[in-house]
């Protein structure tokens, strides 16, 4: 199979070692000290980390505050952080599941699944001076966008701010309205009605696209001709089996619905407990400030999930160990080589209110996860410090 990815609870099948237990690593002083020093260097408001080894979450800890003003501390099992672009990895997993179930063809026209999508007759090619030159697309029956192109960012579809205009994002008053924001399809017309939403001839150029991954989620929802939504498929085939979410989380809750601390879409109108407040640093004023919260569930497949760091660790555990739900080919398709020659899978997320990261070493069945509510957080460095502290412990690696 060709490579086609590019990323960036109750009934849990895995054991979870809680903080302050007999687990020798849950309060390891060397790991804890290393993380706290790095957190202090970066002046982070809130941070949560986790380590997974051999089907077991062996380290979970929160640092700082989810709400600085009210001094609400980060708790690894309760504080909810947005996933941002880690959500794209979920879409990739769902796509792989559909491919191996025989319900998704990666190389067919996406309009076979989403006929609403409007394929343009031209593209707005980016020039070096920051301007764009509209050019006609070749007139060929074999020219179309495929699910594979959406998943590896070669569809040519623009992102938020790299096109000739910023058309594509629905108005705030609509994305925060549960009567309008009813899933992932309603907002599609905001980008595909833009005649300049294509920047390159499909299949010819890598170009990162949130819109492309949102469209991929629509394809997954339609694949197999089921009545389930994208979220319901993710919930039932990934989140529940991986132990991240109870099956009771609904498809589209009403305004004011009281949810729980678990992996789910970050619906702005839902009462999701312990949402982390996001913070931003203003370089001009040299001041820190809260970030305005807006709904991101309208682009769920590209960056709309939220969870605790424990749920993120459970997700990585599932990616490493649940081959009954995730074919081994998936890991081969997303492997990278580290500087030390180790096979690894890396995903990062950046979005208002959050920074996220996970690193998986499938050959060692080892993973590191980190989430922060500080937009200036360098989680690459946090994970490097965390990993370095762990690899000093031979008994940890040989567990």
Domain CATH code at residue 352: 3.40.710.10
Q: Does the residue 390 lie in any domain?
A: yes
Radius of gyration of the chain (CA): 21
Predicted pLDDT of residue 332 = 66
- Specify the DSSP element, H or E, that contains 329: helix 328-334
Task: Please name the residues in contact with 126: beta carbons below 8 A apart, sequence gap of 6 or more.
Answer: 132, 162, 199
β pairing state of 56-67 and 15-16: parallel
340 contacts 278 by C-beta, under 8 angstroms: no
Same domain, 272 and 345: yes
Same domain, 320 and 194: no
371 contacts 47 by C-beta, under 8 angstroms: yes
Predicted pLDDT of residue 396 = 61
Residues of the chain by 3-state class (helix, strand, coil), percent to 5: 30, 20, 50
Same domain, 217 and 269: no
**In this structure, how many other beta carbons lie within 10 angstroms of the beta carbon of residue 365?**
16
Q: Does the residue 239 lie in any domain?
A: no
Domain ends where: 171, 203, 222? 222
How far apart CA 309 and CA 79 sit, in angstroms, is 8
How far apart CA 102 and CA 97 sit, in angstroms, is 9
β pairing state of 46-53 and 366-372: antiparallel
Q: Does the residue 385 lie in any domain?
A: yes
Same domain, 119 and 200: yes
Handedness of CA 190, 192, 194, 198 (dihedral sign): positive
- DSSP states along 251-266: SSPPTT-B--SSSEE-
Same domain, 300 and 329: yes
Predicted pLDDT of residue 324 = 76
| pLDDT tens for the 399 residues of the chain, in order | 344 444 443 333 334 333 444 444 456 888 999 999 999 999 999 999 999 999 899 999 999 999 999 999 999 999 999 999 999 999 999 999 999 999 999 999 999 999 999 999 999 999 988 899 999 999 998 999 999 999 999 999 999 889 888 888 999 999 999 999 999 999 999 999 999 999 999 999 999 999 999 999 999 999 997 899 999 999 999 999 999 999 999 999 999 999 999 999 999 999 999 999 999 998 888 899 999 999 999 999 999 999 999 999 999 999 998 877 776 666 666 666 666 678 889 999 999 999 999 999 988 999 999 999 999 999 999 999 999 999 887 656 665
Same domain, 140 and 72: no
How far apart CA 299 and CA 270 sit, in angstroms, is 16
Q: Does the residue 245 lie in any domain?
A: no
Q: Does the residue 233 lie in any domain?
A: no
> Which residue is listed with tokens 């190389």?
107
- Count of residues making up the chain: 399
Nearest to 145 by CA among 184, 118, 183, 176: 118
Predicted pLDDT of residue 284 = 86
Same domain, 116 and 72: no
What's the whole-model pTM score? 0.91
314 contacts 12 by C-beta, under 8 angstroms: yes
Which long-range CB contacts under 8 A does 171-180 form with residues at least 24 apart?
172/294, 175/268, 175/294, 175/295, 175/298, 176/268, 176/269, 176/294, 176/295, 177/269, 178/252, 178/253, 178/254, 178/255, 178/267, 178/269
The number of distinct structural domains making up the chain is 2
Which structural domain range is residue 127 located in?
A: 105-222
310 contacts 57 by C-beta, under 8 angstroms: yes
Same domain, 160 and 48: no
How far apart CA 86 and CA 301 sit, in angstroms, is 9
Same domain, 363 and 261: yes
Distance between alpha carbon 359 and the CA centroid of its chain, in Å? 13
Helix pair angle (86-101, 210-222), 10° resolution? 30
How far apart CA 306 and CA 340 sit, in angstroms, is 32
- Specify the DSSP element, H or E, that contains 33: helix 29-42
Q: What is the largest CA-CA distance in the chain?
A: 67
């Amino acid at each position: 199979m060709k490579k086609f990815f590019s990323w960036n609870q109750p009934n849990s099948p895995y054991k979870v070692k809680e903080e302050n237990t007999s687990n020798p690593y849950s309060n390891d002083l060397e790991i804890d000290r290393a993380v706290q020093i790095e957190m202090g260097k970066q002046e982070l408001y809130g941070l949560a980390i986790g380590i997974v080894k051999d089907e077991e979450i062996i380290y979970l800890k929160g640092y700082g505050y989810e709400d600085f003003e009210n001094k609400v501390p980060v708790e690894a099992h309760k504080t909810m952080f947005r996933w941002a672009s880690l959500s794209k990895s979920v879409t990739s997993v769902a796509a792989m599941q559909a491919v191996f179930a025989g319900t998704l063809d990666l190389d067919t026209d996406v309009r076979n699944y989403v006929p609403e999508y409007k394929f343009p007759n031209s593209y707005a090619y980016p020039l070096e001076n920051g301007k764009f030159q509209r050019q006609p697309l070749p007139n060929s029956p074999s020219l179309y966008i495929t699910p594979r192109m959406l998943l590896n960012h070669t569809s040519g579809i623009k992102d938020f701010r790299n096109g000739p205009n910023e058309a594509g994002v629905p108005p705030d008053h609509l994305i925060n309205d549960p009567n309008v924001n009813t899933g992932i399809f309603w907002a599609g017309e905001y980008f595909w009605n833009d005649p300049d939403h294509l920047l390159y001839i499909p299949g010819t150029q890598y170009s990162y696209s949130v819109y492309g991954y949102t469209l991929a989620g629509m394809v997954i929802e339609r694949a197999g001709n089921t009545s389930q939504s994208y979220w319901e498929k993710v919930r039932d085939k990934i989140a529940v089996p991986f132990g991240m979410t109870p099956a009771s989380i609904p498809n589209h809750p009403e305004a004011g619905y009281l949810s729980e601390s678990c992996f789910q879409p970050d619906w702005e109108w839902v009462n999701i407990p312990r949402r982390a407040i996001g913070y931003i640093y203003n370089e001009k004023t040299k001041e820190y400030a809260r970030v305005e919260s807006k709904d991101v569930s309208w682009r769920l497949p590209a960056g709309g999930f939220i969870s605790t760091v424990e749920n993120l660790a459970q997700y990585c555990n599932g990616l490493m160990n649940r081959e009954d739900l995730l074919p081994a080919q998936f890991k081969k398709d997303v492997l990278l080589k580290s500087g030390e020659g180790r096979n690894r899978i890396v995903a990062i997320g950046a979005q208002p209110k959050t920074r996220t990261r996970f690193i998986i070493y499938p050959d060692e069945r080892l993973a590191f996860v980190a989430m922060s509510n500080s937009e200036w957080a360098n989680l690459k460095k946090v994970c490097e410090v965390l990993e370095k502290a762990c690899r000093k412990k031979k008994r940890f690696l040989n567990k």
